[in-house]
Structure 1
């Protein structure tokens, strides 16, 4: 598959995921003509679907489509159809409906694709009918290449409306503006009013900031401490004066310059 085509298919499936809530693995309804086409061209149908939808798939076939395959007497196509999961269409197997009526009744539930089916069909009339239903991806074979149709007008219209609702769902929504309230909003407001209000007042002190009272020591430990303190002798009592006494500074005498000349006096 070319990169440009794969990118467009990925964008289309993102629209189906976000707008119509499609989830993996995708449920793919297959008709009898597509089973015959893929079998005759030796095309791997499941791998082709996975490559086209770029996700895990779950192929399904209705009982009416299987009855149409039985009428072709193509044993290989019948065996290929039996490998798919059987989708109950609630039609009488003895009097099966046409493939167009069967697929339309399964997909179209009150004008919506309720079960989120991807329809893979070669019938042009079926694709034309299902384009009117929003949110129906259509897949078909074109010259041994599996192709997915672009978004139909109905699907594109619904997608545009959903995006506009998401864009303007703020202040323009009366529910958020306070003009009108839903039952859920009113119930929530009543629950908030019924809640008991917290009483305001002085708060208790933080228990971590409060100091614990110091416990008094036993009398035995006090007496032992006093006895040991009496046995210790101070330096003054022991007479260790050398440790405490400071060295006395010697007084320096001034030298006198005018000394009496004893030798001169003796000569006179």
Structure 2
């Protein structure tokens, strides 16, 4: 019996191809050498500078002031129930001023989708002290809705415990964040001038 000759396969072998700049190619098939365009030094350089809203005076947002309008997130209501906190009263205890919790259609739809388990959260969200904000955009993704709203109107405080949403809100100048820690509400990035407590 003759032994089979082992054939070693060459891995990652490629067919050799001609470069488009190769001299052996015909003139029409060859890639033309690129000519560098000289920049005109006298031409005006265009730069896109983001337009800052007029309500921001350095880091102070002049549109913020009592009564505070607080945009509430779904998980903020759920965590408040777990911590046995009354939303409106705890907000007032935190900010020492009148607070109006606002709830968007997206957040409301999100709570309704969660079903029977979150019926207490739904009952709280339907509280007459809460202000309902109608949404005009497509879809019901609450995070995008809240980010879009505070980018356009800087008169809100965002109440959330969602880490990703907090990260997105922090990038928007002049928007404070309310969160829950040690069984009470705390505020992040609130200027001292507005009488907000510093923890």
Q: What interval of TM-score do these two structures reach, taking the shorter chain for normalisation?
A: 0.5 to 0.7
Stretches of structure 1 lacking an aligned partner (at least 5 in a row): 1-14, 160-268
Which residue in the other structure is 2:19 paired with?
none
Q: CA contact under 8 A between 2:178 and 2:187: conserved in structure 1?
A: yes
Q: CA contact under 8 A between 1:138 and 1:148: conserved in structure 2?
A: yes
Distance 1:90 1:21 in 2: 23
2:158 partner SS:
strand
* Structure that is richer in strand per residue: 2
Q: CA contact under 8 A between 2:59 and 2:174: conserved in structure 1?
A: no
Give the number of the structure with larger relative contact order, counting CA–CA contacts within 8 Å between residues 6 or more apart.
2
The one of 137, 141, 153 aligned to 1:91: 137
Which residue in the other structure is 2:24 paired with?
none
Describe the superposition over 1:76-100 as per-residue Cα deviations: whole angstroms up to 9, x where unpaired. 11000111211122134xx42x221
2:171 partner SS:
coil
TM-aligned CA deviation for residue 139 of structure 1: 0.4
TM-aligned CA deviation for residue 143 of structure 1: 3.6
Which residue in the other structure is 1:65 paired with?
107
Q: CA contact under 8 A between 2:67 and 2:99: conserved in structure 1?
A: yes
TM-aligned CA deviation for residue 127 of structure 1: 1.0
**What TM-score, normalized by structure 2, do the two folds share?**
0.60
Which residue in the other structure is 2:89 paired with?
47
Which residue in the other structure is 1:133 paired with?
172
RMSD (Å), alpha carbons: 2.6
Instruction: Flag as ranges the 4+ runs of structure 1 deviating above 4 A.
Output: 15-19
Stretches of structure 2 lacking an aligned partner (at least 5 in a row): 1-56, 194-199
* Structure that is richer in helix per residue: 1
Q: How many residues are paired up?
A: 133
Q: CA contact under 8 A between 2:67 and 2:98: conserved in structure 1?
A: yes
Which residue in the other structure is 2:183 paired with?
144
The one of 120, 125, 149 aligned to 1:81: 125
Q: CA contact under 8 A between 1:61 and 1:87: conserved in structure 2?
A: yes
Q: Map 1:91-110 onto structure 2 (within 5 A).
A: 91-92=137-138, 95-96=139-140, 98-109=141-152
TM-aligned CA deviation for residue 19 of structure 1: 4.4
From the CA coordinates, give the structure whose radius of gyration is larger: 1
